[in-house]
């Protein structure tokens, strides 16, 4: 078992190199990225590294059925069967608040190897509708009963979407992360992002964030991993390339420069900068979708005290051109607004890191 301020390896040698040896024991970290970027794979490798060291590990799933997790990741090693799995998936996924039941009465962690191959069927009667408070209380109980060394929550995104009806989301997330930090368990919180530039409040509250980038460049998929924030230890600030193989994530830490500036990465799924440069026909839905994403980012930036005036100006020009159906001209200002927003968020995070 690790002691305070010792490092917990991730199970990925290239990532350990970037982190200066691993995660700091007992702290909470965010693993963020767009869909399909390998967040769960990274988390599984982290837990499997603990299994090799005879540690107790727990995977809490809020959106992917345990039998699918076992099927998808058994290729890594049969040792996956020794990971404890806590199925916290509600039988009722909805946004309205409804009467909820105590999950602690109905479910408890079990070895992944004991999970049947078939997906768990929701009962015809007495379906389990899990509220945020019920889930939080049940998890606190389980973590106090079992002395786990490593913990993964997959995902905070699902927790926010389906379990917080009637709750203030920001207050709920803060309360949940406080609960996790008090356990002194080295924890990974998985967060799914709608695009490469999206930021989440969890990043500001966690002790660190590892971000997995995925984008298309000249019809080829590219992937890069970067440490956006890491308190308490020196780390590699460069983005490094990685692949997802049958053996898991492989990070090439020997490449000194992969992509220095994250602003150069186009937001998926539409590579707007390349489309504009090549004079490909831009559709109205492409422009409006990206403007909507930028406006959401502007709201978060404003809440952080960032001056969004120059971003707002570019969006106003873009909307005016959009009304005139000048889509290519409109997208040029969208690109400029996106880059200004990215720069503002990048600068804010850098300043905050230096202050801490």
Domain edges within the chain? 7-251, 270-355
Judged by phi (left if over 0) then psi (alpha if -120 to 50, else beta), residue 2 lies in beta
pTM score, two decimals? 0.68
Residue 289 has a pLDDT of 72
Residue 350 has a pLDDT of 53
Instruction: Tell me the C-alpha distance between 282 and 330, whole Å.
Output: 9
Angle ∠(222,332,294) on CA atoms, nearest 5: 70
Q: What's 7-251's CATH class? A: alpha beta
Summarize the chain as % helix, strand, coil (round to 5).
45, 20, 40
Partner residues linked to 212 by β-bridges: 33, 225
Residue 32 has a pLDDT of 93
Instruction: Tell me the C-alpha distance between 36 and 141, whole Å.
Output: 32
Place of tokens 């389990």: 128
> 10-residue block means of pLDDT along the chain (356 residues)?
72 94 94 92 97 96 90 92 89 42 62 80 48 82 92 85 64 83 93 74 77 82 89 88 92 66 42 38 64 82 85 86 77 78 68 52
CB atoms within 10 A of CB 203: 19
Instruction: Tell me the C-alpha distance between 151 and 60, whole Å.
Output: 8
Residue 2 has a pLDDT of 46
Residue 354 exposed, middle or buried by CB count within 10 Å (0-12, 13-18, 19+) = exposed
Distances (CA, A) of 244 to 12, 34, 187, 214: 12, 14, 22, 12
What is the distance between the terminal CA atoms of the chain, rounded to a whole angstrom?
28
Residue 106 has a pLDDT of 57
* DSSP conformation class of 83: S
Residue 72 exposed, middle or buried by CB count within 10 Å (0-12, 13-18, 19+) = middle
H helix runs in 93-206, sequence order: 103-106, 132-145, 156-162, 169-183, 201-205
Residue 43 has a pLDDT of 97
């Amino acid at each position: 078992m690790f002691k305070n301020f010792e490092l917990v390896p991730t199970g990925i040698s290239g990532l350990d190199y970037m982190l200066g040896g691993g995660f700091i024991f007992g702290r909470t970290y965010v693993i963020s990225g767009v869909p399909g970027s390998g967040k769960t794979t990274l988390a599984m490798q982290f837990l499997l590294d603990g299994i090799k060291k005879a540690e107790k590990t727990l995977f809490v799933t809020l959106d992917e059925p345990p039998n699918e997790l076992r099927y998808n990741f058994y290729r890594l090693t049969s040792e996956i069967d020794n990971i404890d799995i806590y199925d916290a998936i509600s039988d009722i996924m909805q946004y309205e608040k409804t009467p909820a039941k105590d999950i602690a009465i109905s479910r408890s962690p079990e070895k992944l190897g004991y999970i049947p191959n078939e997906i768990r069927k929701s009962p015809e009667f007495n379906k389990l509708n899990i509220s945020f408070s019920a889930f939080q209380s049940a998890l606190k109980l389980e973590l106090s009963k079992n002395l786990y060394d490593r913990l993964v929550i997959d995902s905070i995104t699902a927790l926010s979407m389906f379990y917080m009806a009637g709750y203030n989301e920001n207050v709920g997330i803060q309360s949940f992360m406080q609960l996790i930090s008090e356990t002194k368990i080295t924890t990974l919180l998985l967060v799914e992002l709608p695009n490469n530039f999206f930021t989440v409040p969890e990043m500001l509250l966690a002790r660190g964030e590892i971000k997995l980038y995925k984008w298309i460049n000249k019809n080829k998929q590219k992937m890069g991993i970067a440490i956006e924030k890491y308190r308490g230890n020196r780390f590699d600030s460069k983005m490094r390339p990685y692949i997802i193989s049958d053996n898991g994530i492989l990070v090439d830490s020997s490449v000194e420069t992969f992509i220095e500036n994250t602003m150069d990465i186009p937001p998926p799924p539409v590579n707007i900068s390349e489309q504009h440069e090549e004079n490909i026909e831009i559709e109205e839905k492409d422009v409006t979708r990206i403007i909507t994403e930028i406006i959401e980012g502007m709201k978060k930036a404003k809440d952080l005290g960032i001056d969004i005036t120059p971003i707002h100006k570019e969006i106003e020009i873009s909307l005016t051109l959009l009304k005139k159906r000048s889509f290519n001209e409109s997208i040029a200002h969208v690109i400029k607004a996106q880059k200004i927003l990215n720069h503002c968020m990048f600068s804010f995070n850098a300043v905050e890191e230096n202050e801490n």
